[in-house]
Amino acid sequence: MAELTYREAVRGALREEMLRDQRVILMGESITGYGGSYAVTKGLVEEFGPKRVMETPIAEAGIVGFAVGAAMGGLRPVAELMTVNFALLALDQIVNSAAKFHYMFGGQWSVPLVVRTVSGFGQLGPTHSQTFEGWFASVPGLKVVMPATPADAKGLLLAAIRDPDPVIFIEHSLLYSTKGQVPDDDGLEVPIGRAAVVREGDDITLVSYSRMLLQALHAAEVLEREDGVSCEVIDLRTLRPLDYPTMVRSVGRTHRLVVCGEDWRTGGFGASLLSELQDRSFDDLDAPIARVAMRDIPLPYSRRLEQVLIPGSQQIVDAVRRMS
Amino acid sequence: MPTNPKTNRTGSRPTSRRAVARQLPHGLTAQQCREMYHKMVQIRHFEDHAAEAYAQAKVGGFLHLYIGEEAVAVGAIAAAREDDHILGHYRDHGYALARGCDVQACMAELFGRETGICHGRGGSMHLADAKRHFWGGHAIVGSHIPIGAGMAYAMQYLEEPLVVLDFFGDGATGNGIFHEGLNMAALWNLPVVFICENNLYGMGATLAEESPVSDMMIKAEGYTMPAVQCDGMDVLSVYGAVQQAAEHCRSGKGPFFVEALTYRFRGHSMADPELYRDKEEVRRWRELDPIPRFGDFLVQHRISSQQELAQVNEEAEAEMLEAVRFADASPWPDPSTAARGVYANPIDPEAAQEALTLAADPAPAAS
Ligand SMILES: Cc1ncc(C[n+]2csc(CCOP(=O)(O)OP(=O)(O)O)c2C)c(N)n1
Ligand SMILES: [Mg+2]
């Protein structure tokens, strides 16, 4: 075990897999000299050269289309889209190319592509403060991964690069500097499609992912201390395919559930998760499923407004208290 | 204003077959010429039967016919190596047949049958045959332009001497993805031949309505990409242009742009009432029909006789009748297989029995 930041863990996975597999290439905007807008790829062009770490024009659709073609030609591209807000320009290539080819062409080839991108906020204003994991997770043919811890960031990225299908790998800007223990073993994967029970509890289940895992853990501590409520905290880690059995098992014991996310309330990822769980766990539930989500407002710049709008541990605590 | 393609005929009258062979343009052999004629005729008959099957509601959805444009796919693909990569747009039957894909499997795909080349999952707009390096039929206009550049990058990276032929229409050049793709291909010196089929229309939009320039090759200039225009109604002209382009790419000199001046004789798709062009224009272009035109060339150069050409037509007709019969008799896909193939590596969380419990990470909670 070594203590690494989330950023170092992502970089470590890229580096290890590039050393192991010559077919792995990186491409993205300002990922060479600049080191990536969140400094994830710093040092990699010096180590692997510009053929394997490609500085690209500012052309998100072109980058993903190009990466799809490179994957079809035998490479293992990892394309970085600076933030998920800019990934919107590449939606067509992600949805109509990457996600479709294996199925649509009768299984003749697959697209082993990873698109790395970043969610988050921090006084960036409405165009730069969004989360769209629900959109990606609604597309059959994609796998969608959102790690919360350094260990998962590394292990899931290794799994994503080795996977023959297109994987959307969404990092979180507010997690890059968080630290955690990461196994030393080279190349140890964390399986895609498996949630983790990060904290065991008896009274209520908090389902979370990415930054919201930290918020849920914090809320669980507060509720334990102040209310004597024991929360079980689940980290989904993969949003598609989604590990319902782990959630269903947990709700079978706790009979209460709060779904926590940073996405918009209307049509966000949590909405479809909630609807499916209502279906699967109705008989186990003692109360309606509660949801913590972003209000349906573009996230404004002002610190004062941001503070009250971004969902965090307080909203989770409030949601749990309303249920009991 | 429609551009008139230059006619590119050779008027010579050679006296013996041996003398002829030496005079064929672009180093072509008589046999290669016969094959190109055969392919164009196959495509024409395939399309006629596809249209008929559509009228009988045996083919559904959107059907875009390549009739009139056969010389482009056939000339271009004949000029490439047989393992060079091909991508094209949704008007894709011509690419498939020119590359030698199984005619029956292509027809069965239009019929939506399990025996289709994509098992009925793609349909007319999404034919593909990976083992022949035909990577599809792409129905989002322009989307396959950067994909072709990416494949070319893989060839360069893996040091494989293959080039990519990437076909699209004049309409695609108005889309941002066209420019992103050309920019990257030129920036990284990639072995890709961009082949623009300028047929004067993007669905119902005329060239004048969709583009500030009528010559699409001008758009390659900003990317410092060499470009040529060829007569898309003349298979030899297309062959010569793409031969030059592919050689350029294969020798490491970067991408090349070929503009083929062509015309679709039929509507954009079967649903097109063709209100945007007049019949006289269509009639004039039909006089340039690439098939009889190349047939005349073959006869003049004594490569084939009129009887031989007639026989090629008869055989193609019989082949397509058989393909329709095959498609019609083929089984439908089994509905129980509908979910198969969404992933190459399906992961089923339902199958994982035990819960994964991790130690709580000591990471501090933010805010
Ligand atoms: C991105 C996108 N926009 C619109 C369409 C609908 N559409 C299909 S074909 C077409 C015209 C394309 O014209 P062109 O590129 O010249 O090709 P042609 O059909 O003439 O061969 C349009 C607008 C589409 N398929 N994709
Ligand atoms: Mg056109």
Which positions 337-356 of B are in contact with A (Cβ < 8 Å)?
340-345, 347-350, 352-353, 355-356
Copy the structure tokens of residue B157. 């990276």
- Ligand 1 pocket member B171 (CB < 6 A): yes
Q: Where are the domains of chain B?
A: 32-360
Q: What is the pLDDT of residues A210-260, one digit of tens each?
A: 999 999 999 999 999 999 999 999 999 999 999 999 999 999 999 999 999
Q: Which of A155, A182, A209 is the last residue of a domain?
A: A182
3-state secondary structure of B238: helix
A145-156 pLDDT, tens per residue? 999 999 999 999
What pLDDT sits at residue B13? 38
Contacts of A141 (CB under 8 A, 6+ apart): A98, A99, A100, A102, A103, A165, A166, B342, B343
A180 and A4 in contact (C-beta within 8 Å)? yes
Question: Within an 8 Å CB–CB cutoff, is residue B126 touching chain A?
Answer: yes
Q: Are residues A244 and A172 in the same domain?
A: no
pTM score: 0.95
User: Where is the domain boundary, A151, A182, A213?
Assistant: A182
Q: Of the candidates B147, B350, B367, which has its C-beta nearest A69's C-beta?
A: B147
Please tell me whether residues A262 and A177 are part of one structural domain.
Answer: no
Chain A residues close to B101, C-beta within 8 Å: none
Q: CA dist A56 to A26, A53, B68, B168, B184, Å? A: 10, 9, 39, 24, 8
- CB-based burial label for A288 (10 Å; 0-12, 13-18, 19+): exposed
A238 and A294 both lie in a single domain:
yes
Instruction: Over range A314-322, report the average pLDDT.
Output: 98
* B159/A contact by beta carbon, under 8 A: no
* Annotated catalytic residue, options A60, A80, A232, A262: A60
Is residue A168 assigned to a domain? Answer: yes
**How many independent structural domains does chain A possess?**
2
Residue A243: which CATH number?
A: 3.40.50.920
Strand order from edge to edge, sheet including A238-240 = A53-55, A24-28, A76-81, A114-119, A167-172, A143-145, A238-240
Residue A188, in any domain of the structure: no
Residues of B in contact with A96 (CB under 8 A): 140, 143
Domain boundary among A182, A217, A238: A182
Residue pair A207/A247 in contact by the 8 Å Cβ criterion: yes
Whether residue A105 sits in one domain with residue A219: no
Distance in Å, alpha carbon of A61 to nearest chain B alpha carbon: 7
Does A159 lie in the same domain as A65? Answer: yes
Q: Note the pLDDT of residue B359.
A: 58
Any domain includes A129: yes
Q: Which residue's CA lies nearest to atom 4 of ligand 1?
A: B141
The reply to whether residue B122 touches residue A106, judged by beta carbons under 8 angstroms, is: yes
- Based on the domain organization, do A165 and A278 belong to the same domain? no
**Per-residue b or e along B338-351, where b marks 16 or more CB atoms closer than 10 Å to that residue's CB:** eeebbbbeebebee
Are residues A108 and A209 both part of a single domain? no
Could you tell me the CA-to-CA distances from A96 to A113, B234, B294 in Å, in that order?
Answer: 14, 34, 38
CATH number, domain with residue A60:
3.40.50.970
Same domain flag for A275 and A225: yes
pLDDT of A266-312, one tens digit each?
A: 999 999 999 999 999 999 999 999 999 999 999 999 999 999 999 99
pLDDT on residue A184: 84
| Interface check A151 vs B, CB under 8 A | yes
* Predicted complex ipTM exceeds 0.85: yes
Counting every residue, how long is chain B?
Answer: 367
pLDDT digits (tens, 9 = 90+) for A114-134: 999 999 999 999 999 999 999
Low-confidence residues in chain B, pLDDT < 50: 1-16, 18-21, 362-367
What gap in Å lies between CA B329 and CA B113, rounded to an integer? 9
CA of B260 to the centre of ligand 2 (A): 11
Considering the domain architecture, whether residues A257 and A146 belong to the same structural domain is answered as no
Judge whether A17 counts as a catalytic residue.
no
HSE-CB of B221 using CA atoms within 13 angstroms:
8
In chain A, which residues have their Cβ closer than 8 Å to the Cβ of B151? 69-70, 72-73
A78 shares a domain with A30: yes
Does the beta-carbon distance from B184 to A180 stay under 8 Å?
no
Ligand 2 centroid from CA B314, angstroms? 31
Q: What's the pLDDT tens digit per position in B5-54?
A: 443 333 333 344 544 445 899 999 999 999 999 999 999 999 999 999 99
Q: How crowded is residue A248: how many other Cβ atoms within 10 Å of its Cβ? A: 17
| Ligand 1 near B139 CB (within 6 A) | yes
Q: Which of B128, B138, B148 sits opposite A108 (nearest CB)?
A: B128
In a domain, A272, yes or no: yes
Q: Which domain holds residue A52?
A: 2-182
Residue B130 with chain A: CB contacts under 8 Å: 105, 108-109
What confidence tens digit (pLDDT) does each residue in A90-106 have? 999 999 999 999 999 99
CA of B175 to the centre of ligand 1 (A): 10
A159 in the same domain as A26: yes
**Is A50 touching B (CB cutoff 8 A)?**
no
**Pair A50, A140 in one domain:** yes
pLDDT at B23: 83
Domain-located, residue A133:
yes
Q: What integer is the mean pLDDT of A38-49? A: 98
Q: Do the domain assignments include residue A232?
A: yes
According to the model, what pLDDT value does residue A187 have? Answer: 79
Reply yes or no on whether A60 is catalytic.
Answer: yes
Contact call for A163 and B345, based on CB within 8 A:
yes
Q: Is the CB of B67 under 6 A from ligand 1?
A: no
Which one of B86, B113, B141, B153 makes the best mutation probe of the A interface by having the most chain A beta carbons within 10 Å? B153
- Which amino acid is it at A266? T
Nearest-CA distance B277 → chain A (Å): 31
Q: Selecting from 3.40.50.300, 3.30.420.40, 3.40.50.970, 3.20.20.140, what CATH number does the domain B32-360 have?
A: 3.40.50.970
On whether residue A176 sits in a domain, the answer given is yes
